[in-house]
Structure 1
Amino acid sequence: MQADVEELSVGFNLNIPPPYRLKAGKYRGFTTFRIGPGGDFDFGNDVSNLSGDSLTVNFELDVQHAFMFEFPPGSDRAVLEPRNGWQAWLAGGKAPQRIYRDLPFRVWSTGPFKVYKLCQHDMGAHCAISSDEGEQVAVEVAMSLPAGIQHRGQAVERLQLPTGRFAALQFEAAMPTLNRPGQLHFEVGRNDVQAMLKHPGSNYAGQVTVVFDAEL
């Protein structure tokens, strides 16, 4: 009995981690099958006219992630104030324990990314704001993210951001995150607030740049 094989199809099922846990980029690989008696494809001893004794299949996986942080208008300026403003202190009340501002944003992310900050005025691990007279106080910069994004397997809640690219924190996707809320937190603590109050009428200012980097 003679049979002619004119066409043969092979299907593949790639066993890979969830794509949202992979870095963006192209992943390549290959596998080689042996053809002939005792091989991966064995058509019998009397098969002839084979084009070769092996078949190499090349694979390419292109991973592209959604990655966007959206801030409302006016988020380029964060005015630090006590809770409920300055009126209580101006009316003779207690000095504020802290001054702060929380900036909300929306995030779309389906893969890992890094975050770090850059400071106009550096003060150790912190950024600083400076008065017209050159007095400086530290500003803590922290971030909260939705539950679908984690840092070292933990939820991200008021996590302080490091300064500089080489100290950047890496965040992983526990699940795809689409249009979920997060916050940046800026705060001057009690001791520094006390120092600021010794210079009434002074204006403190400084620039803080928060970098969201998907190019891992």
Structure 2
Amino acid sequence: MKKVGMVLMVVGLIVLFGYGGYKFLKYKEASTEYEKIQKEYVKKEGEKFPIDVQGLLDTNSEFVAWISIDGVISYPVVKGGDNSHYLYYTYEGLRNNSGAIFMNSENNIEFSDINTVIYGHNMLDNSMFEPIKKYASVEQYQTQPLIKIYTKDKRELTYEVVSFQETYSTSECYRLPVNDTEHEQLLNEIKTKKAYETSRKSLSKEDKILTLSTCKWGNIRYVLQGVLVAEKQYQE
């Protein structure tokens, strides 16, 4: 019996380490893909638009924007036909649990909605939207208070962080308002649930909100929200 128990323990360890190794390889696969995309399609900022839009569209026709928090996050954003496909497929279409950074399928790709929601995984290798949880610290907000979006029609949108919170997947912060009541509910959620005060003391119904979401565990989410403060149109 002791021998049988020993064999079962050894087999269990082999399976455990094998699965761990497999996960590591899949993380590495996705990380390598996104590093390659960043090198190929992100240009130095200057007079020209810093993103190679055509190259990104040639790789994936569902490309809608590039998201950047300087030194923290830099990824292409896609929009699929639903909110599940890109949980499991990378930008280049590989089956991988790192997935892609993707816009809510109900949002307008022009970033013209009252609330534009973008999702990404919280990966153990610190990739994708893992850095969002660092905004639980006010020091992180003070260091990196701006979110940049580069759209496929060559606009640079700058959002100022106004809220970080841990919340549920059913939270009002995900609402895409269709009337004044729902709009007020969204603004109230941001005002009352944020973890700390930011330099933005008030919000109005004219503000455009950007909501970034990633998992903590179960149905608990880390949510970082910003308000549009600047827009620049680049020429060809």
**Alignment TM-score > 0.5, same fold:** no
Query: Which structure would you say has the larger Rg?
Result: 1
Higher relative contact order (CA 8 A, sep 6+): 1
The answer to which structure has the higher helix fraction is 2
TM-score by length of 2: 0.19
